[in-house]
Structure 1
């Protein structure tokens, strides 16, 4: 593994460690049943260090075709509404932007996230049916 890649994979594995701990605290049964994650093909996700981490903890990764970024709920469900919400706004400081983002996320209904995650299933199936080709809607 290249030295350039290692810090990013290491940082990502640290993030996975924090996620695992949060799941252990908040939903302990989930770790026993198994965790299924979706990764794209970004270098930190596909690095050997990350793959070893995932194998050690038995987390399953959904396959992600290389040219289907639209399978990430953030791409197809989150960024559009967020962009519309922030449209036309200006911020004096980064803290002002962060405050607005926190406020927006705090006021989203739990169904917003449920719809995004649930629609992943049909989009993923369409991608499989298209043999990895781009999935519109």
Structure 2
């Protein structure tokens, strides 16, 4: 394939399927292999260079439009638990342990598809809650992993991947970068991002207007995800007024709260209509809607932290 050459979705998916089929053999013969995602190649250059510096093979990704990405990804499900708590003195030690882990897997390990949250069939309310809690825990970990938080930068349903047990995994870290904890930020000296380009419907107003980058960017994006999970609606729709889900929910909530049968109308109007809801499950819907609304308020200083979101979801 020539540099810059474009391909169709069918050709792209056929190439990826071929790679999936050959991946177990390739890994066993040649060691760990990284497949480059070139949707944002400028953001991947340093990462790719580092992988190659450590001796990993990086496969060039065929050119494609981001909306043609297949719906499943082959992730190493148990790798995080395998590496958890282990300390490697040198890159070679890490590479040896990683190769040993790869070689210990049954070939079937590489053939389990991962679905995106926004491509699943309707989920029960308990499952919705569990997925949101697991995702919140992952983002809380990123924000507290070191002295400077890692900001994902593109939290959305399409980047929350579910394994066959419906356990969530955060995907697409092409936009992630070290950031600033909101508690340490001030209006006079906020961190300004010059190159992050997330998905517009999930980005907070302070970022779209002024490129202000703090942990509350991920909080806002996750708030939109919570609203999507609660309502079963997309983050943006041309067939809805307002088009953005955050503004739509806020508008309908304020209109419905004036009615005497507010709770009943709220469930009827805004809950995910694909999933039956009982009185007990209504508490889950209400909490997801409330947390989503809190997390996506315009004033970033009024948004909760992920530790607060985790506690609220654990209380359900």
Assess same fold via TM > 0.5: no
TM class, shorter-length: 0.3 to 0.5
Which has the larger share of helix? 1
Could you state the TM-score of these two structures normalised by the residue count of structure 1?
A: 0.40
TM-score, length-normalised on structure 2?
0.20
Which protein has greater RCO, CA pairs closer than 8 Å, 6+ apart? Answer: 1
Q: Select the structure of larger CA radius of gyration.
A: 2
